[in-house]
Each structure stands twice: as structure tokens, then as C-alpha cells.
């Protein structure tokens, strides 16, 4: 390792401190302009419904059924501003959110499969919570 890089690494502030500094800069200079550090998009721009013709053709979803502002409640970082983008497939009308999808005929959320819990849980239209915070709250106050 070169000496300059070693000196730089040892002079850096701890990661949490640097992250906090970035969060503060986004809050101070970005939020009023609609710029956020953690935008919440669906994981794919194409439909994943195997029964949908658009999914089979790889057609990109261009229907932004919802694009808005929200806040994320975090365990260690306090409240953060975020932008939320939801996409709807023009073929099957399935609406894709950050960590789940719903069909236009239903209000049932189907969370995307995966080995881990999602990083954020949607509480209502404009409020999200870090899953870690959400679970702490549920453990303290019951499910």
C-alpha cells in the first residue's frame, strides 16, 4: 500500500461520522430542492409478472403512477427526506413499489422475495421506517 493512501485512510473520520456529515449536507442543501440521498425506487424497470406480455417482451414501465416526497424514520440517523417512485405496468396494471407490488384490483401487498428483510418498511403513503427501527418498536410495544 502506498504511503499516501495509508495516511489518507488513517486520517479519515469514522464511517458513521462521515455518513452523518453527508446526511447533514443533504438536509441543508438538498431537501428544499427535492434532492435526497436515499430515493426509493422499485427494484426493476420491467414488469416481473410471468403472466404479462410486457414482462415477456422486456418492455420498460414508463407509467409513474406515483412520484412523491416522503420521510424515512431511522434508528441512528433521525428523520430523512426521500423521494418515492412507483411504476405501473401498462400490460397487467401491477404497481411496483420500493419493496412490494400490488395489482390494481387488489390492496394486497406482495413483498419481493429475498433472503433478507427489506431495509425500509412503508408505514403509510408518506412515511417509511428502517426495518430495524420498526422491529424495535414492535418488540417494545407489541405487534
The per-residue b/e assignment along 45-61, b for 16 or more CB within 10 angstroms, e otherwise, is ebbebeebebbeeebeb
Q: What share of the chain is helix, strand, coil (3-state, %, to 5)?
A: 30, 30, 40
Minimum distance of Zn ion from residue 54's CB (angstroms): 5
Compute the distance between CA of residue 106 and CA of residue 75 in angstroms, rounded to an integer. Answer: 32
Closer residue to Zn ion (CB): 27 or 90: 90
Minimum distance of Zn ion from residue 109's CB (angstroms): 17
Closer residue to Zn ion (CB): 92 or 135: 92
Closer residue to Zn ion (CB): 49 or 99: 49
CB burial of residue 86 (10 Å; 0-12, 13-18, 19+): buried
Closer residue to Zn ion (CB): 55 or 84: 55
Minimum distance of Zn ion from residue 76's CB (angstroms): 38
Binding site for Zn ion (CB under 5 A): 47, 49, 52, 54-55, 89, 91-92
Task: Take residue 137 and report the three cell numbers written for it.
Answer: 418498536
| In 1-117, alpha helices (H) | 3-11, 15-25, 53-57
Minimum distance of Zn ion from residue 20's CB (angstroms): 40
Closer residue to Zn ion (CB): 92 or 102: 92
Minimum distance of Zn ion from residue 94's CB (angstroms): 5
Task: Take residue 86 and report the three cell numbers written for it.
Answer: 412507483
Amino acid at each position: 500500500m502506498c504511503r499516501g493512501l495509508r495516511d489518507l485512510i488513517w486520517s479519515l473520520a469514522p464511517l458513521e461520522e462521515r455518513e452523518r456529515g453527508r446526511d447533514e449536507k443533504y438536509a441543508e442543501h438538498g431537501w428544499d430542492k427535492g434532492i435526497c440521498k436515499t430515493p426509493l425506487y422499485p427494484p426493476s424497470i420491467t414488469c416481473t409478472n410471468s403472466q404479462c406480455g410486457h414482462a415477456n417482451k422486456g418492455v420498460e414501465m414508463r407509467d409513474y403512477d406515483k412520484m412523491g416526497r416522503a420521510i424515512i424514520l431511522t434508528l441512528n440517523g433521525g428523520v430523512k427526506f426521500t423521494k418515492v417512485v412507483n411504476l405501473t405496468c401498462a400490460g397487467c396494471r401491477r404497481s411496483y413499489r420500493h419493496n412490494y407490488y400490488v395489482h390494481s384490483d387488489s390492496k394486497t401487498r406482495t413483498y419481493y422475495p429475498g433472503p433478507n428483510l427489506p431495509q425500509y418498511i412503508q408505514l403509510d403513503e408518506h412515511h417509511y421506517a428502517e426495518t430495524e427501527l420498526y422491529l424495535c418498536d414492535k418488540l417494545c410495544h407489541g405487534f
